[in-house]
A = this chain, B = another copy of it.
Amino acid sequence: MARPFDEELKTIRGKLMKMACLAEESIVLAVKSLKDRKEKLAKDVLKKEEAINLLDIEIDELCLKLLARRQPMAIDLRFITSAMKITSELERIGDQAVNIAERSLELLKLPLLKPLIDIPRMADLAQNMVKDSINAFVNRDGKLAINVCERDDQVDKLNDQILRELLTYMMQDPTTIRRAVDLILVGRHLERIADHATNIGEDVYYLAKGKTIKHHIEKNRK
């Protein structure tokens, strides 16, 4: 049976999915600009940022209106407060993609340090975490939400590996320092993206299951 504000919840869900798509595209473009050394792709990321930011404001306002007008209970209330948290996370994922694009524009001024392999792999992992966290939200899929959170470790490990490799480069050849530091920071940005996807996964788990996996708190409280 359709309830009075199902239509409004559907609008919020649609806008969140659109926002997630833009955020994912930004990650892909930013890392592609770095890998293929294409300035235009980095500039495309900067253009997408405004659309992401506008959706953030829109979704927030829609949620607040819905809370005020409809005074939703239980699962709908949780849906709306989750949506408000998720939109913040997506906005920050967009910010991190912008940071990567800015690093890419800096790196394009200098010769290529080395062909990039691990950073694009890390970007793939992070992007898929974002995609799956939103799929988990849309389908209230607690299992997929946990799975997203579990993948965070892989990204962290890859980031450590990238850091170690770049330290070796710098020590062997100090002319690589500036570029290596930029790449280390790109690694950190991707790690943050994975963290934000993990936060979404935690919110979705709470939405789907009504209990928290944040901070492994169930364990600590016992």
Contact = CB atoms under 8 A, between A and B. Distances in A.
Contact of A68 (B54, B74, B174, B214): B74
Interface stretch (A36-44, A78-86, A122-130): A78-86
Tell me whether chain A's interface is mostly helix, strand or loop, or mixed: helix
A56 interface: yes
A116 interface: no
Nearest to A188: B188
A185 interface: yes
Interface residues of A, number: 35
Interface string A203-222: 00000000010110100100
Nearest to A49: B215
A185 B181 CA distance: 10
Interface of A: 50, 53-54, 56-57, 63-64, 67-68, 71, 73-74, 77-78, 81, 84-85, 88, 163, 167, 170-171, 174, 177-178, 181, 184-185, 188, 199, 212, 214-215, 217, 220
